[in-house]
Amino acid sequence: MSAAPPVNLLGCDAQALGRLCAALGEKPFRARQLMQWIHQRGARDFADMTDIGKALRAKLAAQAVIEAPAVVGDSSSPDGTRKWLLKVDGANAVDAVWIPEANRATLCVSSQAGCALDCAFCSTGKQGFSRNLASAEIIGQLWLAERLLGAQAPRRTAGRARQGRQVSNVVFMGMGEPLLNLDQVIPALRLMLDDHAYGLSRRRVTVSTSGVVPGMDRLREECPVALAVSLHAPDDALRERLVPVNRRYPIRELLAACNRYLERAPRDFITFEYVMLDGVNDSAAEARALARLAARVRCKFNLIPFNAFAGSGFRRSPPERIARFAEVLRRAGLTATTRKTRGAEIDAACGQLAGEVQDRTRRRRRIPLTELRA
């Protein structure tokens, strides 16, 4: 009989490490030590864990590994944005993007290689779905960013949220739909929040969804963090064209799920993302309709100027139209900000992420909307 494959400790949250230590006959505090070594000190070799006895280190080395995805591309934009291409198996690679600002630094992570949901304006969606990332591949993006950036900048920028860290915020706005991969996303979220790992506050970790309602309910129960919902249209007819999952979960159900989420959310509002597409969803009448919808949920709007990619068939709304749209929302008493486009020179802006998804069975593997499970 062949031996069981090694466990990748990188993706294990406190519970999973606790179970592993118990199985090895070790005290619970060992789990905490392991977590600190892996996530706070960036260890990947058990031999470095000097306060863990030799015998235990040998046992761990025999049945576990600490393995992050390999970095196969690394590009920097003049605005400081950095994008890594990470190999997640033989055929696929995904992107992670680091966006430094004056008083925070945000890491945008991917949750799947490709995406099954096929939003009309999204380059990830155009590639189809290849596979879910494992929790180690998701948290591995943060682990790598801290290691790679920390090694280069031993003196930290003042004002970044927590001393010694290069990432103060995480957003699940890279490739994939996080709420269709919750089994792996939840342990990664728990590690982001764990004080013995990254210690990020729930308010600084944002999951973005195209509106997978059962996933919103599950996230609310198991690990409520800040939530962004990709709305993109004020009515079902238009939203179905842009975000096909709307056929399964129409706007009325989506808004009800937002209100349920707010009962447990760390912030008292949902962020609605709204991509600005020239002549498609950007009229003043659409802004007024959106304001009427928004009256039903405590929310803020984030308008995203569309980022073009080859063959998309859409154009970005002109700046005056975006400004007018925002003004209509503000007059209705809503908060509306316009996202600054960062990293476009290296194709790192929202919706430009393409990774290297090899999916020869794209059509077959696109999940029928009736089969969506969170």
Residues forming contacts to ligand SF4 in the complex (CB under 6 A) are 115, 117-119, 122, 124-125, 176-177, 210, 230
Which residue's Cβ lies closest to ligand SAH?
351
What residue 37 binds from ligand SAH, ligand SF4, none (CB within 5 to 8 A, per partner kind)?
Answer: none
- Give dist(CA 166, CA 307) in Å, integer: 26
271 is a contact residue toward ligand SAH (CB under 6 A): no
Task: Count other Cβ atoms within 10 Å, centred on residue 299.
Answer: 20
* CA distance to 12, 29, 343, per residue, from 278 (Å): 44, 56, 21
Nearer to ligand SAH, 167 or 212 (CB): 212
Q: Are 179 and 216 in contact (CB under 8 A)?
A: yes
Nearer to ligand SAH, 37 or 261 (CB): 261
Nearer to ligand SAH, 17 or 254 (CB): 254
What residue 118 binds from ligand SF4, ligand SAH, none (CB within 5 to 8 A, per partner kind)?
Answer: ligand SF4
Give the dihedral sign, CA 101/106/112/113: positive
212 is a contact residue toward ligand SAH (CB under 6 A): no
What residue 281 binds from ligand SF4, ligand SAH, none (CB within 5 to 8 A, per partner kind)?
Answer: none
What residue 184 binds from ligand SAH, ligand SF4, none (CB within 5 to 8 A, per partner kind)?
Answer: none
Q: Phi and psi of 171, rounded to 5°?
A: -125, 135
Backbone dihedral region of 6: left (phi > 0), alpha (psi from -120 to 50 degrees) or beta? beta
Q: Are 229 and 271 in contact (CB under 8 A)?
A: yes
Task: Please select the residue that binds ligand SAH; options are 275, 328, 329, 354, rule is CB under 6 A.
Answer: 275
The distance in angstroms from the start CA to the end CA of the chain is: 35
Indicate the helix (H) or strand (E) that contains 85: strand 82-87
343 is a contact residue toward ligand SAH (CB under 6 A): no
Task: List, as own/partner pairs, every contact residues 72-79 make where C-beta atoms lie below 8 angstroms and the sequence separation is at least 24, other chains included.
Answer: 74/148, 75/346, 75/348, 76/346, 77/342, 77/343, 77/344, 77/345, 77/346, 77/348, 78/345, 79/342, 79/343, 79/345
Give the three-state DSSP class for 10.
helix
What residue 275 binds from ligand SAH, ligand SF4, none (CB within 5 to 8 A, per partner kind)?
Answer: ligand SAH
137 is a contact residue toward ligand SAH (CB under 6 A): no
Question: Which residue from 124, 147, 190 is spatially nearest to 207, judged by alpha carbons?
Answer: 190
Give the three-state DSSP class for 358.
coil
Nearer to ligand SF4, 86 or 119 (CB): 119
Nearer to ligand SAH, 200 or 350 (CB): 350
177 is a contact residue toward ligand SAH (CB under 6 A): yes
Residue 293 structure tokens: 């919808």
Q: Are 362 and 95 in contact (CB under 8 A)?
A: no
Closest contact distance (angstroms) between CB of 178 and ligand SAH is 6
223-262 residues in contact with ligand SAH (CB under 6 A) are: 230
77-116 residues in contact with ligand SAH (CB under 6 A) are: none
115-134 residues in contact with ligand SAH (CB under 6 A) are: 119, 121-122
Give the three-state DSSP class for 154.
coil
What residue 86 binds from ligand SF4, ligand SAH, none (CB within 5 to 8 A, per partner kind)?
Answer: none
Per rule CB under 6 A, count of chain residues that contact ligand SAH: 16
Which residues lie below 8 Å from residue 262, measured CB to CB, with a gap of 6+? 268, 269, 270, 297, 298
Which residue's Cβ lies closest to ligand SF4?
125
What residue 306 binds from ligand SAH, ligand SF4, none (CB within 5 to 8 A, per partner kind)?
Answer: ligand SAH
350 is a contact residue toward ligand SAH (CB under 6 A): yes
301-340 residues in contact with ligand SAH (CB under 6 A) are: 304, 306-307
Binding region for ligand SAH (CB under 6 A): 119, 121-122, 173, 177, 208-210, 230, 273, 275, 304, 306-307, 350-351
